[in-house]
Structure 1
C-alpha cells in the first residue's frame, strides 16, 4: 500500500505544485489589478464604477491585460517616437535621488541578462568549488572588466554558481578560463539538474566536432 501511495504522489505532486504556483502568480496579478481599479474609481465618473467592479470579477483578466501591455510597450519602443519617450523617462528617473540608484542598477542588470546580443547565462560550465576536487555547475556571465581585469594576469571569466534547490541565490566567482570545463548541455537542462539536486540528469549530447572533451585545469 505504501508503494502505491508514493507512486500516486509522484504522479500528482508536479501537477499540484504547478497549479499552486500559477494560482499564486495569477492571484498577485489580480490583486494589483483590483488596486488599479479602485484607484481608477477615484478619478473616473461614478457612472463607470459598476463596469470597473464587473472587470474585477473576471478571473485571469489581469494576465491578459499584462501580456497585452507588454506587447504594446514592445511595439511602441520600436519606432522613433517610442524610443524618444523611453529615453526621456530614463533620463528623468536617472536624475531622481535614491530612485536613480535602484533604477539604474536594475536596468543595467536586466539589459545585460535579457539582451538578445548579450552572452550572460548563455553557457553552462563545470568549475571546482568550494575546493579543489569538488565540482559544480556554473553559468558564464561575462568577463571581468575595469580595475578588476587589470589586476588579473591571465584570461578570466565571471561565473555565477547557483545554490540548490533554489538557483536564485548563489555566488559570483572570477576564475581563469583554463579552470572551467565547457558543457554541451543547455542552460535549461543545467537548471533542471541543479534544482533537482542531480536527480534529473540531462540526456547525453554528442561531442562537438573538433572540440576537446575536457579542458586542462590548473594544478
Structure 2
C-alpha cells in the first residue's frame, strides 16, 4: 500500500501541472474564438472545419490592428473612436477605467508589476510577497505624509485576486528575485522556493580538471 501511494503521488505530480496547463490554454483559446462571428469560421469560408482557425484569425486581427495603429492615420482614427466612446455615459466610465489599467500594466516601459517586494501584512511581524504598482498621486498623495509606494498583495493560490495597499517606502523591502519566481512562490504557497540571490561582485569560480593549472599559477 505504501508503494502504491508513492507511485500514485508521483504520477499526480506529473499529470496535474500538465492537465491544468492544457485546461487554461483551452479556456483562453475558446474565449478568443468566441469573439469571431460564425460567418468567419472555416466551415463557412472553406466548407471544412479547421481546428484553431478562429484562434489564428484573432491573433492576425490583433497584430494587424497594432500595425495599423502605429501610423498617423491609425492613431487619428483611434483618437476619434475614443472620443466617440467618451460621449456615452456608461460606456465612458468602463472603457476609460479598463484602458488606464491596460495601458499601465501592458505598457513596455511601464513599472507596474516589474519588481517583487516584501511587506508586513496583514499585521506587524507577518511578512508576505507583494508587487510594486507605482506611487500614489493626485488627492490621495496629498494626505500621505512622507514617501509612499503602491503595492499589490496577491492571494494564495489564486494571484489574480488580492489587496491594493499604499505603504511607506521605508517599510517595503526590495527583492532580487524575478516577478515570475515570486509568482511561483505565491501560487505554490511557499513550496517552490526561488533560488538564493547571487552575491553582487563575487567572481564565479570555474572548476578545472585535475592537473590543469589556473591562470597565474606557477608550474611546479
TM-score by length of 1: 0.84
Q: Residue 194 of structure 1 corresponds to which residue in structure 2?
A: 186
More helix per residue:
1
Q: Residue 77 of structure 1 corresponds to which residue in structure 2?
A: 69
Map Cα deviations across residues 142-178 of structure 1 (whole Å, 9 max, x no partner): 1111121111111000111010011111111111100
> For the structure 1 residues 126 and 76, does the alpha-carbon distance in structure 2 shift closer, same or farther, using more than 3 Å as the test?
same
Q: Secondary structure at the match of 1:160?
A: strand
Does residue 1:17 correspond to 2:17, yes or no? no
Q: Is the 8 A contact 1:122 1:140 kept in 2?
A: yes
Does residue 1:66 correspond to 2:33, yes or no? no
**By how many angstroms is 1:106 displaced?**
0.4
Count of residues in Structure 1 that have an aligned counterpart in Structure 2: 198
User: Which structure would you say has the larger Rg?
Assistant: 2
**By how many angstroms is 1:208 displaced?**
4.3
Q: Residue 205 of structure 1 corresponds to which residue in structure 2?
A: 197
Does residue 1:87 correspond to 2:79, yes or no? yes
5+ unaligned residues in a row in structure 1: which ranges?
A: 42-48, 210-219
Q: Is the 8 A contact 1:37 1:52 kept in 2?
A: no
Q: Residue 103 of structure 2 corresponds to which residue in structure 1?
A: 111
Q: Is the 8 A contact 2:43 2:50 kept in 1?
A: no
Q: Residue 5 of structure 1 corresponds to which residue in structure 2?
A: 8
Does residue 1:123 correspond to 2:115, yes or no? yes
Q: Residue 207 of structure 2 corresponds to which residue in structure 1?
A: none
Q: Secondary structure at the match of 2:89?
A: coil
For residues 27 and 144 of structure 2, what CA distance do their matches in structure 1 show? 46
For residues 128 and 121 of structure 1, what CA distance do their matches in structure 2 show? 18
**By how many angstroms is 1:18 displaced?**
1.5
For residues 149 and 95 of structure 2, what CA distance do their matches in structure 1 show? 27
Q: Is the 8 A contact 1:158 1:175 kept in 2?
A: yes
- Comparing 184-193 with 18-27, greater Cα deviation is found at 18-27
Q: Secondary structure at the match of 1:98?
A: helix
Q: Secondary structure at the match of 1:19?
A: helix
RMSD over equivalenced CA pairs, Å: 1.9
Does residue 1:37 correspond to 2:38, yes or no? yes
Map Cα deviations across residues 52-89 of structure 1 (whole Å, 9 max, x no partner): 3736x211111111111111111111110011011111
For residues 199 and 113 of structure 1, what CA distance do their matches in structure 2 show? 28
Matches within 5 A, 1:121-160: 121-160=113-152
For residues 27 and 116 of structure 1, what CA distance do their matches in structure 2 show? 27
Map Cα deviations across residues 114-163 of structure 1 (whole Å, 9 max, x no partner): 11121111111000000000000001111111121111111000111010
For residues 180 and 78 of structure 2, what CA distance do their matches in structure 1 show? 32
